[in-house]
Structure 1
Amino acid sequence: MKFVAIVGTNSDRSTNRKLLHFMRTHFAEKAEIEVCEIKSLPAFNEPKDKTPPATVKELSDKILAADGVIIATPEYDHSITAALKSVIEWLSYTTRPLINKCVMIVGASHGMLGSSRAQAHLRQILDAPELKARIMPSSEFLLGQSLQAFDDQGNLVYADKVKELDECFDEFLLFVSITNQLLKTAKINTDQNKKFSWKQAAEEGASL
């Protein structure tokens, strides 16, 4: 399987980046993971023609071609970063590559909670009509005290967390395999979902 792993911050010192690079190496025999940065993507500005910038289009194409997506989010003020929210807004407003795409959410934080509130918020966001991602249920990977979590070689040093991550990733592999097969069998109309419009929904609601 091939996965796109999104670093959910533009910080150069993020431990979420370290987590994704560890996952790429640690799970190399199980899946191909491409770590993608969002630092170079512009802030969302709602273009009238709904055409994404080249950098956003490149990320969108990678998501479309992947079997699934992994998002590592830090927690700022009880939520995800503005940079990650901007990227999600670009994707939902333009190409909508996350519709029916399997997503695993992980997160690291300097404190004890491991970005738990940001992960919960991200789940809500990804369930929006313009996104409709297939989020792996009943599974959270929360890496607290992340400043001390990695050695100089980028290895995750907490043995219990490595074991937990192994279990979460194996669940994700199974989730992706089953979900993608069900979506293929059910022939759910992804193209129709990509045409969702709040304006059209409001007009249809007003006519009832």
Structure 2
Amino acid sequence: MHKFIAMVGTNSDESTNRKLLQYMQSHYADQAEIELMEIKGLPIFNKPENHEIPAQAQAMADKIEQADGVIISTPEYDHSAPAALLNALEWLSFHIQPFVDKPVMIIGASYGALGTSRAQAHLRQVLDSPELRARIMPSSEFMLGHSLQAFDDQGNLTDQQKATKLDGLFKDFQVFVEITKKLKNANATTYEEVREMDWEKL
């Protein structure tokens, strides 16, 4: 059984993105072990001269490294991913490399009808950056619009079409994870390239 980290892409206490990940955690419990990861509490990234990593960021990195993959659920703020999520990713690429060749599935929930397409596209660019080098599952957008009305009292998705699509994408992600395990021929070199990134020149 795969073990996944599900990163809540916001520091909001009342987030439908957290509800979406909680739904996945419960709904797919017989297929995978999914552990929610919060980004609340991280300090603002300031590129410390002593290279000291906050204990919370290091603990997050350790869990990501041990997981088979990561699911990130992001809202969309001003056509982009939230600052809190980008801040977390900055810490998770500062002299630590948990995302190198790590399979990632991106999903998102929003209150409006447009979904999180721009935030997801932006997040793909960030995760593909030289400092992170994640393996993002292609052609896999899942956007939950009108998310305040999307769940019943038990936390289940009320739109069967959306639920069925997520089922399919989650199965695809598990296949993607297995395929990614075979794409490791350049892993050692990639890891060294990321490890040797000179943050003093960035």
Question: TM-score, normalising length from structure 2?
Answer: 0.94
CA positional deviation for 1:94? 2.6
Give the corresponding residue for 1:52. Answer: 53
Give SS of 2:158's match.
coil
Which shows bigger deviation, 159-168 or 94-103?
94-103
Higher mean C-alpha deviation, range 139-148 or range 38-47: 38-47
- Residue 122 of structure 2: SS of its match in structure 1? helix
AA aligned to 1:192 is E
2:74 aligned residue: 73
- Local SS of the residue matching 1:63: helix
Amino acid at match of 1:191: Y
User: Do the aligned partners of 2:95 and 2:195 also contact (CA within 8 Å) in 1?
Assistant: no
What's the C-alpha RMSD, in Å, of the aligned pairs? 1.6
More deviation in 11-20 or 91-100? 91-100
Show the 5 A alignment for 1:115-126: 115-126=116-127
Q: How many aligned residue pairs are there?
A: 200
- Verify the 8 A CA contact 1:130 1:196 in the aligned structure 2: no
* 1:176 corresponding residue in structure 2: 177
Structure 1 stretches of 4+ with a deviation exceeding 4 A read 198-202
Q: Matches of 1:127 and 1:41 in 2, distance apart?
A: 22
Aligned-residue sequence identity (percent) comes to 57
1:22-171 to structure 2, matched below 5 A, reads 22-171=23-172
Cα offset for 1:198? 5.0
CA shift for structure 1 position 196: 3.7
Mean Cα displacement is larger for which, 90-99 or 7-16?
90-99
8 Å CA contact retained: 2:76, 2:118: yes
Instruction: Letter of the 2:64 partner, please give it.
Output: I
> For the residues of structure 1 that align with 2:97 and 2:155, how far apart are their CA atoms?
33
Q: What do the CA deviations read for 1:4-43 (whole angstroms, capped 9, x no partner)? A: 0000000111100000000000111110000011112211
Distance 1:200 1:41, change over 3 A: closer
Unaligned runs of 5+ in 1: 203-208
Letter in 2 for 1:132: R
Unaligned 5+ segments in structure 2 are none
TM-score, normalising length: structure 1: 0.92
Please tell me whether the aligned partners of residues 129 and 196 of structure 1 are also in contact (alpha carbons under 8 angstroms).
Answer: no
Cα deviation per residue 1:114-136 (whole Å; 9 max; x = unaligned)?
11100000001111101000000
1:100, 1:133 within 8 Å by CA — same for their partners in 2? yes
CA distance in 2, matches of 1:195, 1:147: 41
Instruction: Supply the distance in 1 between the matched residues of 2:11 and 2:179 (Cα, whole angstroms).
Output: 33
Bigger share in helix: 1
